[in-house]
Chain A
Amino acid sequence: MINPPPATYDPAPLIEPGHTFGSITDKIATVVVGGRTPITWFVVVSIGMMIMGMLGVAVTWLLIKGTGIWGINIPVGWGFAIINFVWWIGIGHAGTLISAILLLLKQGWRTSINRFAEGMTIFAVMCAGLFPLIHTGRPWLAAYWLFPYPNSMAVWPQFRSPLIWDVFAVSTYFTVSLMFWYVGLIPDMATLRDKARKRPQQIIYGVLSLGWRGSAKHWQRYEHIYLLLAGLSTPLVLSVHTVVSFDFAIGIIPGWHATIFPPYFVAGAIYAGFAMVLTLAIPLRKIYGMEDFITIRHLENMAKVTLVTGLIVGYGYTSEAFFGWYSANKYEGFMIWNRMTGPYWPYYWTLVFCNIITPQTLWIRKVRTTPILIFAVAMVVNVGMWLERFVIVITSLHRDFLPSSWGMYYPTVWDWMTFVGTIGMFIVLFFLFIRFLPMISIFEMRTMAPEAKLTESEGH
Chain B
Amino acid sequence: MDAAHALPPVIYGLMAEFDDPSALVAAARRAYEAGYRKMDTFSPFPVEEAWEAIGHHDRRLSKIVLAGGLTGLLTGIGLQEWVHELAYPINIAGKPLNSWPQFVPVCFELTILFAALSAVLGMIILNGLPAPYHPAFNVPRFERASRDKFFLLVESDDPKFDRQATLEFLKGLNPSEINEVEP
Q: Which residues of A are interface residues toward B (Cβ below 8 A)?
A: 20-22, 25, 148, 154-160, 162, 164-165, 168-169, 172, 175-176, 179-180, 182-183, 187, 190-191, 193-195, 206-207, 210-225, 228-229, 232-233, 235-236, 239, 243, 246, 443-444, 446-447, 451-452, 454-456, 458-459
Interface residue tally on B, bucketed by range: 35 or more
B65 — which chain A residues lie within 8 A by C-beta? Answer: 225, 228
Separation of A229 and B113 alpha carbons in the complex (Å): 10
Which secondary structure dominates chain B's binding surface?
Answer: helix
Provide 18 A-B residue pairs closer than 8 Å at the C-beta atoms, listed in order of the A residue. Answer: A21-B147, A154-B88, A155-B88, A168-B106, A207-B132, A210-B129, A212-B146, A213-B137, A215-B40, A216-B42, A217-B56, A224-B62, A232-B119, A239-B112, A446-B44, A446-B45, A447-B45, A447-B46
Separation of A233 and B113 alpha carbons in the complex (Å): 10
Asked if residues A228 and B119 are in contact (CB atoms below 8 Å), the reply is: yes
B127 at interface, CB cutoff 8 A: yes
Asked if residues A229 and B119 are in contact (CB atoms below 8 Å), the reply is: yes
Residue of A nearest to B152 (CB): A216
Chain B, 110-132, contact with A by CB distance < 8 Å: what is the 0/1 string? 10110111011011101101111
Residue of A nearest to B72 (CB): A172
Separation of A79 and B106 alpha carbons in the complex (Å): 26
B54 at interface, CB cutoff 8 A: yes
Asked if residues B49 and A172 are in contact (CB atoms below 8 Å), the reply is: no
Asked if residues A176 and B137 are in contact (CB atoms below 8 Å), the reply is: no
Question: How far in angstroms is the closest Cβ of chain B from A171?
Answer: 8
Q: Provided the pairs A213-B137, A225-B120 are in contact, do residues A456 and B41 lie with their beta carbons within 8 angstroms?
A: no
A148, A213, A243, A454: the one within 8 Å of B145 (CB): A213
Q: Which of B4-12, B76-84, B156-164, B168-176 contacts A (4 or more CB under 8 A)?
A: B76-84
Asked if residues A211 and B113 are in contact (CB atoms below 8 Å), the reply is: no
Question: How far in angstroms is the closest Cβ of chain B from A150?
Answer: 9
Most buried by B among A158, A160, A220, A233: A220
Residue of B nearest to A444 (CB): B45
Asked if residues A20 and B148 are in contact (CB atoms below 8 Å), the reply is: yes
Asked if residues B99 and A160 are in contact (CB atoms below 8 Å), the reply is: yes
B61, B87, B102, B146: the one within 8 Å of A190 (CB): B146
Question: How far in angstroms is the closest Cβ of chain B from A148?
Answer: 6
Separation of A194 and B149 alpha carbons in the complex (Å): 13
Separation of A195 and B113 alpha carbons in the complex (Å): 35
Q: Provided the pairs A22-B148, A225-B123, A456-B22 are in contact, do residues A219 and B103 lie with their beta carbons within 8 angstroms?
A: no
Separation of A451 and B146 alpha carbons in the complex (Å): 16
Asked if residues B92 and A158 are in contact (CB atoms below 8 Å), the reply is: yes
A157 — which chain B residues lie within 8 A by C-beta? Answer: 83
Asked if residues B25 and A454 are in contact (CB atoms below 8 Å), the reply is: yes
Chain B, 2-36, contact with A by CB distance < 8 Å: what is the 0/1 string? 00000000000000000011100110010000000
Chain B, 75-105, contact with A by CB distance < 8 Å: what is the 0/1 string? 0000110011001100010010001001101
Separation of A206 and B87 alpha carbons in the complex (Å): 47
Separation of A434 and B103 alpha carbons in the complex (Å): 40
Separation of A232 and B73 alpha carbons in the complex (Å): 14
Q: Provided the pairs A214-B42, A214-B43 are in contact, do residues A221 and B147 lie with their beta carbons within 8 angstroms?
A: no
Asked if residues B51 and A220 are in contact (CB atoms below 8 Å), the reply is: yes
Q: Provided the pairs A160-B102, A229-B120, A236-B112 are in contact, do residues A213 and B134 lie with their beta carbons within 8 angstroms?
A: yes
Asked if residues B127 and A222 are in contact (CB atoms below 8 Å), the reply is: yes
Asked if residues B79 and A239 are in contact (CB atoms below 8 Å), the reply is: no
Asked if residues B146 and A191 are in contact (CB atoms below 8 Å), the reply is: yes
Separation of A164 and B42 alpha carbons in the complex (Å): 46
Asked if residues A225 and B46 are in contact (CB atoms below 8 Å), the reply is: no
B29 — which chain A residues lie within 8 A by C-beta? Answer: 458-459
B142 — which chain A residues lie within 8 A by C-beta? Answer: 213
Separation of A232 and B56 alpha carbons in the complex (Å): 25
Residue of B nearest to A21 (CB): B148
Question: How far in angstroms is the closest Cβ of chain A from B28?
Answer: 8
